[in-house]
Structure 1
Amino acid sequence: MLKSLFIKNYVLINQLDLDFAEGFHAFTGETGAGKSIIVGALSLLLGNRADYSVIRDKEKSCEISALFNIKNNLEVKNWLNEQEIEHDNELECRRVITADGRSKSWINSRPCTINSLKELGSFLVQIHGQHDQIKLNNAKYQLATIDETGGYESLLKQIFQTYSDWKTVQSQLEEIKLAGALNESESQLLTYQFEELCQLNLRESELDDLHTQQKMLTNAVDTINELERSLDLVSGEHSSNVSSGVSKIINTLADIKGLDLSEIMSMLDEISINLNEVEGQLQDQLDQVEVNPEKLHETELRLDEIYATARKHKVNAENLYQHQQELAEKLQLNDSQKQRREELLLRKQKLEEQYQQVSAQLSQSRQKAAKEFQSKVTAIIQKLGLEKSQFIV
């Protein structure tokens, strides 16, 4: 039901506010009084092509808006739900056009296209001119009339909701498809590659550790010689080692009288302590270095295995561990999508079965309502004096 109509800067109208109460309303007046202008404004609002000559003041925009009560208009509510437009029991449509050819439209403050307004308008308003074809010949209108009088609104709501749920599920299935879910052959290939990497059992930092170990084992002899030479310089048996030299300096300075050498002696004592620490750490490092050809061979075999696998998978050896993690994530995501897809397909099947069941119930209800409607209209026609007339749906 139309509750109010606002018209601004349209043909002869500067600004007009109309409020409508429930019931029948009639506009009367002489030819040229402006009755058709109001109807034209309403038609323009609900999607008719804009004729910019109707703008009264070309320096300003033309604005038309209307408020409808849609409490009992199930078709409108279902349409709004499909378009995901929020609504209660009222609906506002608004359109603004300018002399430079621009046109903007809104449904409940949400921007929309003219086609959307036109489609929605077909559920809101019927405008019949003197020579217009009446909607009685329109199958959709006939069905809507039966539905309005049938008393099975719950079935209509159920079937519209089922269809809406089905569309949502179908959209989610399309999203999974667009996300690039793996087909069976791709899934098998990735699974094989992942299992092969799992068999390699590569640790995250293993490649760096192996390179370090290989270098140490390869240079073990040279390393031992250098460490032994350094250790000999620090504390070797010969008299020219550093520790002996520091001890001799300490003893020599201790015999000097008449000078304050306490700070120097303290520094020398600290040097001596540090040299002992250096000697201990050099010995520890020397003990850790091993000459082990067998271990070196094992290390190089492991490196060869890692590099061969990396070449097979067409990645750098340094990225092989990360590649394995990426494969695991892809497979996990694919499994999740596959499971989700199966759930959605099952949901879709149930919704289709539910839709068929409700459709059958709705069809029976519509047939029953059509017969009742047919009888009522026939009775009214016969009361008008057409005793032998029959109204058939």
Structure 2
Amino acid sequence: MLKNLIISNYALIENLEIDFPAGLVIITGETGAGKSILMGALSLLLGNKAESDTLINQEKNCVVEALFSYSQDREMVDLLESEGIERTGELILRRVITPAGKSRSFVNDQPVSLQFLKSISGKIIDIHAQHQHLLLGDSRFQLSVLDSYAGNGGVLKEYQEVFSELAERERELATLRKKISEQEEENDYNKFQLEQLKSAKLREGELEELEEEYKILSNAEEIKGTLSFISTLLESEELSVLRNLKEAASSSVKISQNFSPAAEYAKRIESCRIELKDIHQEVGLMTEKIIVSPERITLVEERISDIYKLLNKHHLASVSGLIELMDNLEQKINKTGSERDDVERLQRERDLLNKRRGDAADLLHKRREAVLKAFSESVRDSVRELEMPYAEFFAKLSKRETYCETGNTSVSLMFSANREIEPRELGKVASGGELSRIMLCLKAILAKGSGMPTMIFDEIDTGVSGRIADKMGRLINDMAGEMQIFAITHLPQIASKGDCHLLVYKESDKAKGTRTLIKRIEGEERIEEIARMLSGTRTTEAALANAEELLRN
């Protein structure tokens, strides 16, 4: 229940703090006194949009804070634990609006998202705003009342979990299929690319080898002639460096017995001779290997050109990059096969969830059918109590081919206020006053089924008066025996019910301007307020007597 409310710097409310009791709380006030401002401030705690122009002082924050007590049911416990909020049996909800229009939300002094604030407040308070009777034409609202009567909360939650999981699988499947389709289009191109690369028979270091070979082939005649000349210089009939070195080494050995340094000369000369002999042999072999071949040059040129074409096409710098690309293309092509396995797995999961959804929807439908007659009679009897003795009311169920978050059931509420008129769809035949009475009866069912601790009726009595208003007041008072009810009303028959009566009023002065205030009234003050509601601008003795009579009853 709502135990305390603090509002500061909101519309015409500068500073307001008030405590609320359990049971029925009546709120009255002249038109324009600020009752709607009070509801606007409370709606901020339900996550409604905040506007900076509602701030009185544009240099200060607007703050709305409410203290609630709550029952620690499993759903509420899970919700609080999801945000790491300590469970104490009480909740302080706070919304802060800055002059810049920015909003911050808190639960028990812990910052939370606006969505979380909505989730929490939606479980502890329900505001029936003016003109909300338009919901009576909404099939979702109609179904929610029937589910509340049937106690389908747990079954509906299980169905919705399966429904959401199935929707997620469908999204995953659609995404994966689209990806595979795109990959298949890409794979045709990838296969062509891969085939082209494979047919090139590339190998690491090939380009460098080809370029080296091309340099040699392009200069083969010059290289071959130069090598032959070197070979001749080292060993020829006319001049042989190798034979001369051999003789020099031999001569050095001969004199080494008498001239010791000559032994060292002999070693060094022999070393040079051996090295030059190796060079002579290698030069000879290379001379034989080097060929002058225009045909080979052409082949090498073409191969180098083919490799560079592939490099340029794929914007790569080396053959190793092309080989890596080839491996990647193969992996991409093969990956489609594994993703097809994922499709099959998701299809199996989807089919299983589809069956579970169907079973859960069937269970919901059967439970709704089981209470349909009792629900229709209960609402009909409640409506007849509110001065519609010949009213007929019943709910019709039908199954749809498609599923939504509430199952595959459609419901239509049928109504007739007069004995001779066949019941038709509620939203099309009921007058404003009739809609108000029917909505009150349905809200009473909703409140019991949902376990909502606090409900606010903002002029639910629109379009009714006299005995009807009195009976609506009694019904609201009965509801207050099981939950906390706030009734904002212009009707004295309803205002006279309950023990707590709050008056919303305005005060004006030159320094502060006009301000909205609220106070609890009792005794003579309450009698005068109800008399004002009875007689209008001038309070008469008859109105005062009538007000006393209403309060006694």
Name the TM tier (shorter chain). 0.5 to 0.7
Q: Distance in 1 between matches of 2:55 and 2:348?
A: 56
Structure 1 segments unaligned to the other structure (5+ residues):
none
Between 337-346 and 137-146, report the one with greater CA deviation: 337-346
TM-score (norm 1): 0.66
Q: Which residue of 1 aligns with 2:483?
A: none
Aligned partner of 1:331 among 333, 336, 342: 333
Q: Distance in 2 between matches of 1:26 and 1:128?
A: 15
Q: Distance in 2 between matches of 1:360 and 1:238?
A: 114
Q: Distance in 1 between matches of 2:352 and 2:206?
A: 52
Q: Which residue of 2 aligns with 1:156?
A: 156
Q: Distance in 2 between matches of 1:143 and 1:89?
A: 34
Q: Which residue of 1 aligns with 2:285?
A: 287
Q: Which residue of 2 aligns with 1:45?
A: 45
Residues 235 and 388 of structure 1: is their aligned pair in 2 closer, same or farther, counting only changes over 3 Å? same
Q: Which residue of 2 aligns with 1:361?
A: 363
1:142 and 2:142 are equivalent in the alignment: yes
Structural mapping, 1:148-297, within 5 Å = 148-173=148-173, 175-176=175-176, 181-182=181-182, 184=184, 186-216=186-216, 222-231=222-231, 233=233, 241=241, 244=244, 248=248, 265=264, 269=267, 273=271, 276-277=274-275, 279-280=277-278, 283-284=281-282, 286-287=284-285, 290-291=289-290
Structure 2 segments unaligned to the other structure (5+ residues):
396-553
Residues 368 and 274 of structure 1: is their aligned pair in 2 closer, same or farther, counting only changes over 3 Å? farther
Structure of higher RCO (CA pairs closer than 8 Å, 6+ residues apart):
2
Residues 153 and 13 of structure 1: is their aligned pair in 2 closer, same or farther, counting only changes over 3 Å? same
Q: Which residue of 1 aligns with 2:103?
A: 104
Q: How many Å apart are 1:280 and its aligned residue?
A: 2.7
TM-score (norm 2): 0.50
Preserved CA contact (<8 Å) 2:62 2:96? yes
Q: Distance in 1 between matches of 2:166 and 2:276?
A: 78
The structure that is helix-richer by fraction is 1
Q: Distance in 1 between matches of 2:231 and 2:77?
A: 92
The one-letter code matched in structure 1 to 2:357 is: Y
The structure that is strand-richer by fraction is 2
Q: Distance in 2 between matches of 1:235 and 1:249?
A: 17
Residues 58 and 312 of structure 1: is their aligned pair in 2 closer, same or farther, counting only changes over 3 Å? closer
Q: How many Å apart are 1:160 and its aligned residue?
A: 1.7
Q: Distance in 2 between matches of 1:347 and 1:217?
A: 66
Q: Distance in 2 between matches of 1:282 and 1:342?
A: 73
The one-letter code matched in structure 2 to 1:103 is: K
Secondary structure of 1:127's match? strand
What's the Cα RMSD here? 5.5
Secondary structure of 2:63's match? strand
Q: Which residue of 1 aligns with 2:13?
A: 12
The one-letter code matched in structure 1 to 2:190 is: L
The one-letter code matched in structure 2 to 1:172 is: E
Between 250-259 and 331-340, report the one with greater CA deviation: 250-259
Deviations 1:198-223 (A, max 9, x none): 34432233333334345445655654
Q: Distance in 2 between matches of 1:359 and 1:167?
A: 15
The one-letter code matched in structure 1 to 2:13 is: L
Deviations 1:18-74 (A, max 9, x none): 7x89x6463768879987655331113334454545424332111335577696697
Q: How many residues align?
A: 378
Preserved CA contact (<8 Å) 1:62 1:98? yes
Aligned partner of 1:392 among 388, 391, 394: 394
Q: Distance in 1 between matches of 2:203 and 2:40?
A: 78
The one-letter code matched in structure 1 to 2:208 is: D
Q: Distance in 1 between matches of 2:194 and 2:244?
A: 62
Q: Distance in 1 between matches of 2:57 and 2:26?
A: 25
